Each structure stands twice: as structure tokens, then as C-alpha cells.
Amino acid sequence: EQKRVQRGSVGVFNEDIYLALRNEQLMCEHLRSAISNGELFLVYQPIINAQSGALYAVEALLRWQHEDTLIPPDVFIPLAERTGQMQDIGTWVLHRACIDAAQWQFAENVSVSVNVSVIQLLDDSFIETLERVLSSSGLAPEHLHLEITESVFARNKEKVVAQINAIKRHGVSVSIDDFGTGYSSLSQLQSLQCDYIKIDRSFVQNPEEGSDTIIRATMLIAQEFHCRTIAEGIETEAQATRLTDMGADLLQGYLYAKPLTNEHLLRWYNNTQQ
Ligand code: C2E
Ligand code: MG
Ligand code: MG
Ligand code: MG
């Protein structure tokens, strides 16, 4: 006890910081070789048409299998962003997703939706990368959607809007992810030509009156800006019904499918869609 007190906040504090830094540095080094070691892979989660139940698109979600551990993207994407690795990883993701989608033969007109970090979006070479990936994969641009989280508008707004316009000029669609959780104001949305708004799962899964209000407001905004809406995190029939009744066009969540490997996606399609 005496020892603990004696080491006091200073000693323990430094040790914690040291361990955290060392851990971050180690993770950072391991992440740097993740692509070349083949440790990154994509899983695909179906997005369903709320009216017909047909497969509409799939969202590509990144996984890092490092030794025995599957590290979730919420952990390593922020690390990649902090340590200058997001461009390389993001390009790998875009390329992989487009190649996979270009080869899907199980369904016509299924789009792939790829998450794009603000670091990628604000990079001057992003549009060139997009052009290169589209031409090398052979994927039709209308079958690619890029998901951008709402919080990007807190950054360099003019640049973000210019990049989104350039993306759209290439025939690629844009979705605003995690809508309602970020900082965008209505006036910011006005200058933005998005195609889809993704209603965050926190509103979908929270049946309180407040989240109903936010969902209804989001539906009005989507209508006004001619965007379609995708409800994320649908786990129950009740949530599916609630969101469909409130006007969601598309639904995504464990009720339909968890994120699946490319191979399992085909199996899922054959089992559920035919
Ligand atoms: P997101 O883009 O909002 O993706 C949706 C997340 O919700 C995914 O988590 C998905 O697995 C999860 N999810 C889907 N349906 C349900 C459900 O019914 N219930 C619950 N509880 N969860 C559901 P995941 O795959 O762990 O990804 C987390 C976040 O990491 C993503 O959120 C996205 O922001 C980021 N991320 C994933 N892959 C990439 C990527 O390739 N690039 C970038 N920049 N970010 C990525
Ligand atoms: Mg997303
Ligand atoms: Mg989301
Ligand atoms: Mg998210």
C-alpha cells in the first residue's frame, strides 16, 4: 500500500503512458506490414431494398487478422490515420472492393459501397486513385458508392465539397455515413450533392421518442435533397418495420446478414435471394 502511494500518480502515470506508447508503436509497425503480409481482408454486408427485400448493394468492411487476433476497424483505422498509413490502406481497400465487385456474377446491378476516411478524401491524389482503380478493375462507376462520415464537414468544408463534386462527375455515388452523429449543420448539407444518407444505428436501435424525431427529420432532409435513405444496424423485424414505415428506402443489419467474406456472400445470395 505504502509503495503504491509512494509511486503515486507520477510513477504510475508515466508507466501507463510508456506502455500505451510502446503498444501503439508496436501496433503501428505491425500495421505497416499488414498489407504485404496479406493480413487485411474485406467482408461484405448486404444492403436490402426495404420494399422488395432484394439485394441492392453491399458495404465493404475492413478486417485485420494479426496473428491470432482479429483487430476491429474502430481500433486500427484511427491508428492508420494517426500514423500516415491511411492513404495506402484506403487505396488497397478501394482496389480490392472494386476488383471483387467487378467479378460478382451472382446478381446484376449490385453496387459496392466503400468507406473513405477524411484523410483519403482530402488527399490531392484521391481522384486520380479513383480513376486508376475504376479503370484497372473494370467496375462500372455507377456500381461504386463512397461512404463519407458526416463529421468530415467539420474539416475543410470547401475542399470536401469540391472532392465530392469531382467524385460525382466520375459517375460514382456518395453516401453520408453515421448521419445525425456528426457536426454538419443544415446549411452545410445544402452545398452537398449526396445520393444516400445512412441513418446511424444508434437511432435505429434506440426506440425512444427523441430518436424517432431525429429519424423523421432525416427523412425530410433526404427528401428535400433528393437522397435515398439507408437504415443501419437493423437487428429485429420490429426495427425493420419501424424504419420502413418511417420511409427508409434501404435496410442493412444483422437481421439480413452479418458482414460476409466474398465466398460466404455468394452462398448467402444463393440461399436467400433466389
Ligand atoms: P460503418 O461504416 O458505420 O459500418 C457499420 C458498422 O456497423 C460495421 O462495423 C458493421 O459490422 C456494423 N453493423 C452492421 N450491422 C449491424 C447490426 O445489425 N448490429 C450491430 N451491432 N452492428 C452492425 P465494423 O465492420 O466493425 O466497422 C466499424 C467502422 O469502421 C465502420 O463504421 C467504418 O467507420 C470503419 N471502417 C470499416 N471498414 C473501413 C474501411 O475500409 N475504411 C474506412 N475508412 N473505415 C472503415
Ligand atoms: Mg459505412
Ligand atoms: Mg455507419
Ligand atoms: Mg460508423
- CA separation for the pair 222, 195 (Å, rounded): 9
What is the share, in percent, of the chain residues with pLDDT greater than 70?
93
How many angstroms separate the CA atoms of 83 and 37, rounded?
Answer: 19
Q: Which residue has the cell 498489407?
A: 35
Out of 61, 70, 93, give the residue to mutate to test ligand 1, the one with the largest number of ligand atoms within 8 Å of its CB: 61
What is the model's pLDDT at position 12? 58
Mean pLDDT value across residues 99-106: 92
* No. of helices (H) and no. of strands (E), the chain: 11, 9
**178 Cα: distance to centroid of ligand 4 (angstroms):** 6
Segment 49-56 long-range contacts (CB within 8 Å, at least 24 positions apart): 49/249, 49/250, 50/231, 50/240, 50/243, 50/244, 50/248, 50/249, 50/250, 50/251, 51/244, 51/249, 54/273, 55/107, 55/110, 55/269, 55/273, 56/110, 56/111, 56/250
* Residue ID of nearest Cα to ligand 1 atom 22: 233
Q: What is the pLDDT of residue 201?
A: 95
- For ligand 1, residues with CB inside 6 Å are 45, 61-62, 72-74, 77, 93, 115-117, 147, 177-178, 201, 232-235, 252-254, 259
**pLDDT 10s digits, 126-139:** 999 999 999 999 99
ipTM of predicted assembly, 2 dp? 0.98
Query: Looking at the predicted structure, is the pLDDT value of residue 274 above 80?
Result: no
Residue 2 binned pLDDT confidence (cut-offs 50, 70, 90): very low
User: What average pLDDT does the segment 216-234 reach?
Assistant: 94
* Pairwise pLDDT comparison (123 vs 23), residue with the higher score: 123
- Return the pLDDT at 1: 41
Q: Are 98 and 42 in contact (CB under 8 A)?
A: no
Q: Provide DSSP, 13-44.
A: HHHHHHHHHHHHHHHHHHHHTTTTTT-EEEEE
In this predicted model, what pLDDT tens digit does every residue of 249-269 receive, in sequence order? 999 999 999 999 999 999 999
Going by the DSSP 8-state scheme, the letter that residue 66 receives in this structure is E
Provide, rounded to the nearest whole percent, the portion of the chain with pLDDT above 90.
Answer: 74
Tell which residue, 72, 131, 121, 50, has the closest CA to residue 98.
131
Which atom of ligand 1 approaches the CA of 254 most closely? 18
pLDDT tens digits, one per residue of 152-178: 877 788 899 999 999 999 999 999 999
Residue type for 94, please? L
